[in-house]
C-alpha cells in the first residue's frame, strides 16, 4: 500500500483475454477482490499484476469508468447529489441488455458493492414493465409450463398483465 | 447469450414492484414457487424497508374506496401516481344481490391492512396483491350491555414469532352511570393471531375511557415498535373497593409479542386543547395537540424513553394557509406523515382536500390540492409488499432456495 507523500500508485490488472490495465490505486481498491489480494499479500511488489481470470477487457473498461467517476464524486462531496444521478443515467443509457449482464457479472466477481446495487436496480427498472416473454428472453429461461398450466397461473393475477410495455 | 447466477437473479427480483412479480410468476415453475415462498416475501419486504422504497400514502376516500399515491409527492407526482382502489370486503353478494357496506380501516402494517366491516367482522387485506382473508368471528359478547358500545381495535405484527395480530377491547361503564368517573368498569378483551387463526381472551385491562374523550383517535391504536398505542386513564380503586377511572391520562401500549399492556411515558403536553391525538409518524410515536390556534407535534425519538420526547414543531395556524376560517369549529389540522430522506418534512392534512408538506428546517410549506375529496378519514403510510393475509407454511420451498 502507498504511504502518505509517495507518488500516486498504479495497480496493474490483467483480464481473461490478456489485456493489461493500469488503474489508480483508489479506483482499484473499490474492487473488493483486488483489495483483499493486497491485504493477503502485504509484501507484493508495486508492479505485481493482479490476474482477473473471470473478467474480459470490455466490461472492465466500463467498470473502471464508473468507479473512477464515483471515487471523484465522493472526494468532491457530491455523493447522493443530482450530478451523480445524471452521470448514472447517462452511463446506462446506451448499454444493451447483454452489456448490462456482462457488467453485473463482472461487478459481482470483482465484488464492488455500490456498482452491484446500482446495476441490480437498473436491470429491475428495465424489466418492471416488460412482458413475461421479454423476461424469459432476458434471462435465457425456458418455459416449463404447459400452455394450460401457464394460462391457469396467469388467471390467478390477470390484472397484473394490464399496462405492459411493448417488447 | 449470458446467463446470470441465481443469486443475482433473486437480487434483481427483490427490487421489483408487486405487480411485476405477480406477472413474472408465469416465467417458469421455479419463479412461481420462488415468488410465492415465504422466504422471498420476507426478503422482498426487508429489501423495501432497508432501501426505503415501495412506500405509499393511502387515503380512505369513501366507505368503500381508498386511494394510494407514492410516498413523497408534489402536485405533479400526485397526479401521476394517484390510484383508486376498491375495498373488496365492502361488496358482498347476498343471494343474488350485491350490497355495499361501510368498511373501516383499523391499521396498517407491512402492507397488510386490517379492516372492519358489517357488524364486527374483520378481514386482513393486501391491497397490492388484492388478496384478502375474512377472519373467523370474534368471541360473542359476555354481557348484553356491551352490544351498544363500540369496540376499540389495534392491529400489529409480532416480529419475534412472525405473526400478525388484532386486538379488540370492549369496555363498559356499569351500571350505565353517565358520570363515568364514578362507575364500575368491565372489559372483554381478545386477541386474534393469524398463525393460530383464532381469537383468545387475554388479561384484564387496567385502563378506562379510550373512546369518549379521545374521539379524534377513531378508536384505533397506532402501531409503533411492535406495540399498539392509544390514550387512556389508568383505573384506580375507589373508597368502596371498586375500580374507577383515575384523573391522569396515559399512553397505553399493547405489546403484540408478549400480549401485555404497559404505560409509556408521555410528554408534557396539554391535553385540554382543541385536538389531541397519538400517531405513528415515520416509525416514531407522536403526540399532536392544538392549543390556542397553535399546533404542537411531539415525537419520541427513542422508544420508551420519556426524556427523548422532543417538540418537533410549533406551528402558529395564523401563519399557515388554511382552507377553512381558523375559528370554524369544523376546521382541523392533522399530521399524517414524517419524511426525512431529503431534509425533514412533515405532511399535514387540513380538512377535506388539502395536504401540506411542511419543511421543518426552512419553516416553509408546500400546499397540495388533493383532487379527490378525502373526508375526515385517516391516512396511512403503507408498504407495498407480497405479504399474505393468510397463513401458509412453506418451509420446503424456503429450504430449497436457501
Q: To the nearest whole percent, how much of chain B has pLDDT over 90? A: 34
Choosing among B19, B23, B31, B48, which should be mutated to test the A contact, i.e. which has the most A CBs within 10 A? B23
User: What distance in Å separates the CA atoms of residue B38 and residue B35, rounded to the nearest whole number?
Assistant: 8
Question: Does the CB of B84 have a partner CB in chain A at under 8 Å?
Answer: no
Question: Does the CB of B1 have a partner CB in chain A at under 8 Å?
Answer: yes
pLDDT (tens digit, 9 = 90+) per residue, A12-36? 999 999 999 999 999 999 999 999 9
Q: Pairing state of beta strands B131-134 and B275-281?
A: unpaired
Q: Name the residue among B319, B312, B318, B298 with its Cα closest to residue B364.
A: B319
Q: Percent helix, strand, coil in chain A (nearest 5)? A: 55, 10, 35
Q: What angle do CA B297, B220, B231 make, to 5 degrees?
A: 55
User: What distance in Å separates the CA atoms of residue B235 and residue B246, rounded to the nearest whole number?
Assistant: 5
pLDDT for res B147:
58
Give every CB contact of residue B378 below 8 A, 6+ residues apart in sequence: B60, B105, B218, B220, B336
pLDDT for res A65:
95
pLDDT for res B182:
54
pLDDT band of residue A60 (cuts 50, 70, 90) is very high
Choosing among A160, A165, A167, which should be mutated to test the B contact, i.e. which has the most B CBs within 10 A? A160
Choosing among A157, A163, A164, which should be mutated to test the B contact, i.e. which has the most B CBs within 10 A? A157
Q: To the nearest whole percent, how much of chain B has pLDDT over 70? A: 82
User: What distance in Å separates the CA atoms of residue B402 and residue B397, rounded to the nearest whole number?
Assistant: 9
Using the beta-carbon criterion (under 8 Å), do A98 and B29 form an inter-chain contact?
A: no
CATH for A10-128 (3.40.50.970, 3.40.50.10800, 3.40.50.10490, 3.30.710.10):
3.30.710.10
pLDDT for res A98:
94
Indicate if the pLDDT at residue A5 is higher than 90: no
Using the beta-carbon criterion (under 8 Å), do A145 and B16 form an inter-chain contact?
A: no
**Helix orientation angle between A57-75 and A82-93, rounded to the nearest 10 degrees:** 170
3-class DSSP state of B268: coil
pLDDT for res B343:
60
pLDDT (tens digit, 9 = 90+) per residue, B164-213? 999 998 877 655 455 555 565 677 899 999 999 999 999 778 887 544 54
pLDDT (tens digit, 9 = 90+) per residue, B98-142? 777 788 899 999 999 999 887 778 999 999 999 999 999 888 776
pLDDT for res B402:
37
pLDDT for res A1:
47
Indicate if the pLDDT at residue B398 is higher than 50: no
Question: Does the CB of B341 have a partner CB in chain A at under 8 Å?
Answer: no
Q: Are A29 and A35 in contact (CB under 8 A)?
A: yes
Measured between beta carbons, which residues in chain A are less than 8 angstroms from residue B16?
A: 124, 127-128
pLDDT (tens digit, 9 = 90+) per residue, A113-164? 999 999 999 999 999 999 999 999 999 999 999 999 999 999 999 999 998 9
Question: Does the CB of A167 have a partner CB in chain B at under 8 Å?
Answer: no
Map out the domains of chain A as residue ranges.
10-128, 130-162
pLDDT for res B302:
94
Measured between beta carbons, which residues in chain B are less than 8 angstroms from residue A108?
A: 5, 8
pLDDT for res B179:
52
User: What distance in Å separates the CA atoms of residue B261 and residue B317, rounded to the nearest whole number?
Assistant: 36
Using the beta-carbon criterion (under 8 Å), do B28 and A105 form an inter-chain contact?
A: no
Using the beta-carbon criterion (under 8 Å), do A160 and B20 form an inter-chain contact?
A: yes
Return the top range by mean pLDDT from B13-27, B177-191, B300-314, B320-334: B13-27
Nearest CA in chain B to A142: B28
Indicate if the pLDDT at residue A75 is higher than 60: yes
pLDDT for res B342:
62
ipTM (interface pTM): 0.92
pLDDT for res A71:
93
pLDDT for res B367:
81
Query: What long-range pairs does A68-73 form, CB within 8 A, spacing at least 24?
Result: A68/A24, A68/A27, A70/A30, A70/A114, A70/A115, A71/A26, A71/A27, A71/A30
Using the beta-carbon criterion (under 8 Å), do A144 and B25 form an inter-chain contact?
A: no
Chain B: give the shortest CA distance to residue A62, in Å. Answer: 17
CB pairs under 8 A between A and B: 77
Q: What is the rounded average pLDDT for all residues in chain B?
A: 82
Amino acid at each position: 500500500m502507498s504511504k502518505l507523500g509517495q507518488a500516486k500508485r498504479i495497480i496493474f490488472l490483467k483480464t481473461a483475454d490478456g489485456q493489461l490495465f493500469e488503474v489508480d490505486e483508489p479506483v482499484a481498491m473499490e474492487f473488493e477482490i483486488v483489495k483483499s489480494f493486497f491485504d493477503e499479500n502485504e509484501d507484493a511488489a508495486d508492479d505485481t499484476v493482479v490476474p482477473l481470470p473471470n473478467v474480459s477487457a470490455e466490461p472492465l473498461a466500463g467498470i473502471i469508468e464508473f468507479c473512477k467517476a464515483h471515487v471523484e464524486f465522493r472526494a468532491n462531496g457530491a455523493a447522493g447529489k443530482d450530478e451523480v444521478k445524471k452521470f448514472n443515467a447517462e452511463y446506462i443509457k446506451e448499454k444493451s441488455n447483454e452489456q448490462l449482464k456482462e457488467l453485473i457479472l463482472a461487478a459481482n466477481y470483482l465484488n464492488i458493492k455500490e456498482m452491484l446495487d446500482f446495476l441490480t436496480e437498473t436491470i429491475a427498472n428495465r424489466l418492471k414493465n416488460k412482458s413475461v416473454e421479454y423476461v424469459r428472453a432476458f434471462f435465457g429461461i425456458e418455459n416449463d409450463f404447459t400452455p394450460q398450466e401457464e394460462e391457469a397461473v396467469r388467471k390467478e393475477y390477470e390484472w397484473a398483465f394490464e399496462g405492459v410495455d411493448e417488447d | 447469450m449470458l446467463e446470470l447466477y441465481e443469486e443475482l437473479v433473486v437480487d434483481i427480483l427483490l427490487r421489483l414492484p408487486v405487480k411485476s412479480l405477480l406477472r413474472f410468476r408465469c416465467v417458469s415453475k421455479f419463479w412461481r414457487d420462488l415468488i410465492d415462498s415465504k422466504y422471498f416475501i420476507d426478503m422482498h419486504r426487508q429489501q423495501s424497508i432497508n432501501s426505503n422504497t415501495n412506500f405509499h400514502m393511502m387515503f380512505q376516500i369513501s366507505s368503500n374506496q381508498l386511494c394510494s399515491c407514492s410516498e413523497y409527492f408534489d402536485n405533479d407526482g400526485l397526479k401521476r401516481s394517484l390510484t383508486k382502489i376498491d375495498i373488496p370486503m365492502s361488496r358482498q353478494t347476498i343471494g343474488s344481490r350485491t350490497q355495499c357496506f361501510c368498511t373501516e380501516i383499523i391499521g396498517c402494517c407491512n402492507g397488510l391492512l386490517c379492516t372492519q366491516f358489517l357488524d364486527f367482522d374483520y378481514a386482513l387485506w393486501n391491497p397490492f396483491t388484492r388478496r384478502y382473508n375474512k377472519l373467523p368471528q370474534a368471541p360473542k359478547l359476555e354481557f348484553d350491555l356491551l352490544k351498544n358500545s363500540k369496540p376499540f381495535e389495534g392491529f400489529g405484527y409480532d416480529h419475534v414469532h412472525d405473526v400478525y395480530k388484532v386486538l379488540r377491547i370492549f369496555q363498559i361503564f356499569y351500571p350505565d352511570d353517565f358520570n363515568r368517573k364514578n362507575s364500575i368498569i368491565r372489559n372483554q378483551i381478545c386477541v386474534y393471531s393469524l398463525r393460530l387463526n383464532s381469537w383468545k381472551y387475554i388479561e384484564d385491562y387496567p385502563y378506562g375511557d379510550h373512546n369518549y374523550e379521545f374521539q379524534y383517535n377513531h378508536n384505533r391504536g397506532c402501531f409503533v415498535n411492535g406495540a399498539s398505542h392509544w390514550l387512556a386513564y389508568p383505573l384506580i380503586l375507589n373508597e368502596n373497593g371498586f375500580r374507577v377511572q383515575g384523573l391522569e391520562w396515559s399512553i397505553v401500549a399493547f405489546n403484540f409479542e408478549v400480549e401485555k399492556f404497559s404505560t409509556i411515558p408521555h410528554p408534557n403536553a396539554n391535553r385540554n386543547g382543541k385536538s389531541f391525538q397519538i400517531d405513528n409518524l415515520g416509525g416514531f410515536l407522536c403526540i399532536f395537540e392544538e392549543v390556542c390556534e397553535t399546533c404542537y407535534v411531539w415525537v419520541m425519538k427513542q422508544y420508551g424513553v420519556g426524556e427523548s420526547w422532543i417538540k418537533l414543531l410549533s406551528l402558529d395556524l395564523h401563519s399557515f394557509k388554511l382552507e377553512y376560517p381558523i375559528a370554524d369549529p369544523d376546521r382541523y389540522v392533522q399530521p399524517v406523515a414524517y419524511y426525512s430522506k431529503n431534509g425533514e418534512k412533515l405532511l399535514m392534512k387540513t380538512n377535506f382536500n388539502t395536504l401540506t408538506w411542511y419543511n421543518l428546517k426552512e419553516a416553509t410549506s408546500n400546499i397540495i390540492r388533493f383532487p379527490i375529496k378525502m373526508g375526515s378519514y385517516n391516512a396511512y403510510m403503507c408498504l407495498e409488499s407480497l405479504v399474505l393475509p393468510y397463513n401458509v407454511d412453506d418451509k420446503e420451498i424456503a429450504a430449497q432456495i436457501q
